[in-house]
Structure 1
Amino acid sequence: MPHSDSPAPESASFPDLPPSPALSSSSFCSSSSSSISPEQQSQLDKNFTNMSPANSDEAIKRLTDDELKSFISDLRDHIRGSQKGHYQKCTRVIRISQGYVTKSYGENWGKDAIAGIELARELGVRVPAIERILEYNEIDDKGFEIVQQYVPGKTLKELWTDLSLEETIRLAFQLRGMLRIMHQKTNDCIGSCYSLKCRTYYLESELGLPRACKAEEIGKVVNFWSNYEGLPKICWVKKSVEEHERACAIGPVSLDCPAVFTHHDLAPRNMIVDPKGDLWLVDWDYAGWYPAYFDRASMDHFMLQFGEWSSNDRLRWDIFCSIATESKWEEQAKAVNTMLSWMACTSGNHRIPCVQAGVTLRDPQFSSRME
């Protein structure tokens, strides 16, 4: 697998960036690019230092693939063992040396994530570089370890309640520059970067879209659910196929909106601010080719998890999102999140109207269930 070790892009690469004064160094007394608490990071640091001589970047580079796989496996076991009796944090993402982290993937997800990360780097987006790709080909264990550059700093989630309005605006302009570059890259079909499989969490597993379909199809789905009303069974029984088709064509989403390169999970936990004040994007698992409004929708998707935010924190997030997306896609993003709400509260049998409206099933095996 090819990988990139080119230097990280500088902020000067992006348009519309205001000056970037570094944040106070006191904001970065604890750092993590894996969304774990300072206490867990401290324990993790202690673990990887004590387990093996491979506690430096050069030592990691010298290990063979098999040696590195063994080291990572032992480290994960050690971390899990140290968490007995407590809530066990997911160990998919762990720091393995001073300068590297690794994340484990299944076979198909790994290929899509690698393709997304490498495309983002190619475009000049500030993304941690891939150092090593370890592939597992055993019959019962197919997948990847993606070893990436460790970005010192804190996630935007950790920093948010302490950020000033000025810092909020400055970081928003950095994200705006990255999104502008990404959204200029288009594709004929929607889906993940390697497989073209529609992995968006906005479409549930059994009634997703077929692989490599057109952006028009996902627009039809959004419009359909935007026009959904009342109890599902009453709606679909009383409407004709033609009425359902009209519901797909008319709505908040334009059917000619192109498929562009999106991150697709722009929650604060997936943005890291380094000690210089530069914003980095991590966790490209859902990246792929989708209409740009899916990036805007993803910035609201996490909000229910953040009840501790004050009204001022939420207002600053609205400002951040508006600047980053150039005040675009507000209505479309709301429609996407509304679609997710409808899908979450309706059973599979009530999705028949979506099929009648011309939205095909992702897998033919499900067709018989809907006839």
Structure 2
Amino acid sequence: MQKIDLTNKTVFVTGGIGFIGANLIMELLRTIEPIHIVSVDSRTDYYDVNIKDWRLNEIKKEAEKHPASNFTFILGNIADSAVVQNIFTEYKPDIVVNLAAQAGVRYSITNPDSYIQSNLIGFYNILEACRHSYDNDAKGVEHLVYASSSSVYGTNKKVPYSTDDKVDNPVSLYAATKKSNELMAHAYAKLYNIPSTGLRFFTVYGPAGRPDMAYFGFTNKLLKGQTIQIFNYGNCKRDFTYIDDIVEGVKRVMQGAPERKNGEDGLPLPPYAVYNIGNSNPENLLDFVDILQQELIRAGVLPDNYDFEAHKELVPMQAGDVPVTYADTAPLERDFGFKPATPLRNGLRKFAEWYKEFYQI
């Protein structure tokens, strides 16, 4: 593994006002000085842009505390190759972290086009820019880190999910695009010697998260007195991973690139790796909802006497969903000395407190 010191490096983060991107940028600003961060985001209205604007504002506040570093935000779409090329030409990033993507399993069933644009064409543009960063013997990109997803495991029967498992049977277009990213990155790693690491994220949650995620959607509905639907009659398990754990994992991985070396034929062996980042502790959905309701009451989002039973409906599995997600994180622990470990209650407590403040309840 090639160790990378991020001090004074230029880091290009796509999807910079997304949930993971914004938290990663703030963590880098807080802990590495000086650092130069360039970020692009298309600020789509897939969910409430007020949350994206709030995140951007938080990043700017953090950046002001670190005058030796700098943060540049560009409004643009990675599916537009000119946007990506211009950023590479002007800023010459050392590290690229591709977190821009159209997320969500269910949305991919009704709006497939946005997944092809962002997740396939957008990622292709990033790979091409990384490839050409080495033109004319330039040093170019030292490490490309990109978001994959636990969705690639589909209905994998073996648990915990290992990156050694065969994942050729996606059950949603979203999963298919993420698996495609891994395949594309492997080809480019082999052909152009681009050190790249894919990260399969497992159900990321926390303050200022994505409103299309269950915990956020449940909270919105309960507050309005609506009924929440619990899929597969509550027999679903999810490996919920707190945002701070995800960010710590990404930051560590950024600093350890797969090593460039040649095989016996003299040609490059692909400097390529894939890791799971998950809590390795799947929670039953009914238990998860129980903890969420307790924390919403504790934070004062919902009243003490809220009747949850009247607002719960157990329903069958939805198309594209899987019954369990469970990460084998042994390789991440082995190579980077890190294992996510934030208990679900702690994470949901922080979310409930943020929710109360953000929506001024």
Report the structure, 1 or 2, having the larger helix content.
1
Report the structure, 1 or 2, having the larger strand content.
2
Please identify the structure whose Cα radius of gyration is greater: 1
Higher relative contact order (CA 8 A, sep 6+): 1
Q: Using structure 2 for the length normalisation, give the TM-score.
A: 0.27
